[in-house]
Structures are given as structure tokens and as C-alpha cells.
């Protein structure tokens, strides 16, 4: 039996084909299309696997970087507002300094050069674990703690380093949370992609099984016809 009506099916020319050949061609094309879809889906799954792997590598690197920063950030437990206030007070003191080697009361410019204020500021300096170029002392024996101009500048440099590290730590933590969110999103999408991949694989296998069985049936029929003609 030959196809006399439509000359094409899904872009294939079937004019002059018998029904069995046409059905086989259609089934073959379906299997080929499913194979291409399966290949494309596999590429999608592979790309997501690669993206998840890269994100996990970035997350691991940031964890290592964060641990190193936190370990080196002595004084980082102080709040940003406390560090900012201390920096402003030291700037006020520094403005009264007559030079790096000159001694200046630690209450100058903000605490009316009082003994209590100077001792309170020095206590906060010690609590941060800052080092001293020159050990502070009551240089003029008036009950006010003093430090050299160079020491005050060095404290400010150390506090700035703490602020920078603390800012980097905060940024790293945000980056890590964003990476975790991205990994979760990719993992959820990957699960859906894997389900689609399995579905396409089943359909592809089914299409090839149908085509194989159909070809076997055609061959058996033709063998039977030839056998009957002998």
C-alpha cells in the first residue's frame, strides 16, 4: 500500500512510500528528535553541575578567607560605632599634638584634658589590644595620661586596619550567604532538570524499542511472504 495523499509528514517526503516504510520513517524521526532533546537536556544538567561545583569552590575559598581575617582581626569584636567614636576622639587629641615626639594628654580636644577621660580612652585602647610605639604615661604628673603624637597616629592606623578588616568580614559574610542562596536555587532547578532528563531518556528508549520491534515485525512479515512464494 502506498501513500497517495499528503506528500510529507513532519518535513519528510513520504510520496511513493508504502504504509510500513512511512510508519518506520515517522518513528525513526521521533526517536531522533527525542535523542536530540535528551542530548540538550544532558548539556543543561551538566552546565548546572558545573555551576554548582564552581559556586561550592568559591564558597570554600571565602570560608578560608573569612577564617583568616577573623583570626587576625584583634579588636574586631568592638562595634563599628565604638571604633568610629574612638577614632574621632584620637583625631581630636592628635590635632592638639605639637609633633610626633611631643606628649599630649589623651583627654585633649574631647574630654577637657581631664584625668578620668584620658584614663577611660587609654582603657579602650588596651581593650582593643593595640600596640604602643611609646608606652603612655602621666608625663607631667598631673593625673592625666599622655602619649606621644607618633603613638596616637599609630593607634589610629591600627584602628583603621581593624575597621577595614571588619568591613571585609561583613562583605565576605554577605557574599557567602548569596552563594548559599544561589547554590540552593541551582540545586532545586537541577532536581527538576534531572526529572526531565529521566523522562526524556525513558521516552527515547521507548521510541527506539518501538522502532526496533516494528523493523523486526516488518522483516518477519517479508520473510514470511518470501517463504510462501517459494
pLDDT at 184 over 50: yes
Segment 150-164 shows an average pLDDT of: 96
Confidence of residue 6 (pLDDT cuts 50, 70, 90): very low
Task: pLDDT band for 2, please (50, 70, 90 cuts).
Answer: very low
Q: What separation in angstroms does the CA of 37 have from each of 21, 41, 186, 223?
A: 24, 6, 21, 35
- pLDDT-derived band of residue 23, with 50, 70 and 90 as boundaries? confident
Q: How many CB atoms lie within 10 A of CB 121?
A: 23
Output the CA torsion 48→51→53→54 (10° steps).
Answer: 170
Supply 102's cell numbers: 611631643
* Positions of E strands within the chain: 8-9, 12-13, 103-105, 146-148
Model confidence pLDDT, tens digit, residues 32-70: 888 899 999 999 999 999 999 999 999 999 999 999 999
> Residue 22's pLDDT is what?
74
Amino acid at each position: 500500500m502506498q501513500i497517495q495523499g499528503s506528500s510529507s509528514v513532519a518535513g519528510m517526503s513520504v510520496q511513493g512510500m508504502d504504509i510500513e516504510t512511512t510508519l518506520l520513517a515517522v518513528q525513526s524521526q521521533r526517536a531522533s528528535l527525542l535523542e536530540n532533546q535528551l542530548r540538550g537536556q544532558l548539556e543543561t544538567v551538566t552546565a548546572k553541575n558545573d555551576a554548582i561545583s564552581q559556586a561550592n569552590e568559591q564558597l570554600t575559598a571565602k570560608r578560608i578567607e573569612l577564617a583568616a581575617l577573623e583570626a587576625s582581626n584583634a579588636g574586631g569584636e568592638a562595634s563599628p560605632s565604638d571604633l568610629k567614636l574612638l577614632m574621632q576622639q584620637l583625631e581630636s587629641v592628635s590635632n592638639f599634638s605639637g609633633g610626633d615626639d611631643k606628649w599630649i594628654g589623651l583627654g585633649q580636644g574631647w574630654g577637657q584634658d581631664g584625668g578620668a577621660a584620658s584614663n577611660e580612652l587609654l582603657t579602650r585602647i588596651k581593650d582593643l589590644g593595640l600596640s604602643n610605639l611609646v608606652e603612655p604615661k602621666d608625663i607631667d604628673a598631673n593625673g592625666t595620661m599622655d602619649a606621644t603624637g607618633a603613638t596616637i597616629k599609630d593607634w589610629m592606623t591600627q584602628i583603621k586596619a581593624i575597621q577595614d578588616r571588619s568591613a571585609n568580614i561583613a562583605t565576605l559574610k554577605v557574599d557567602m550567604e548569596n552563594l548559599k542562596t544561589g547554590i540552593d536555587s541551582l540545586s532545586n532547578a537541577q532536581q527538576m532538570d534531572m526529572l526531565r532528563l529521566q523522562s526524556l531518556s525513558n521516552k527515547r528508549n521507548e521510541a527506539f524499542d518501538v522502532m526496533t520491534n516494528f523493523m523486526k515485525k516488518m522483516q518477519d512479515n517479508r520473510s514470511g511472504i518470501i517463504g510462501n512464494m517459494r
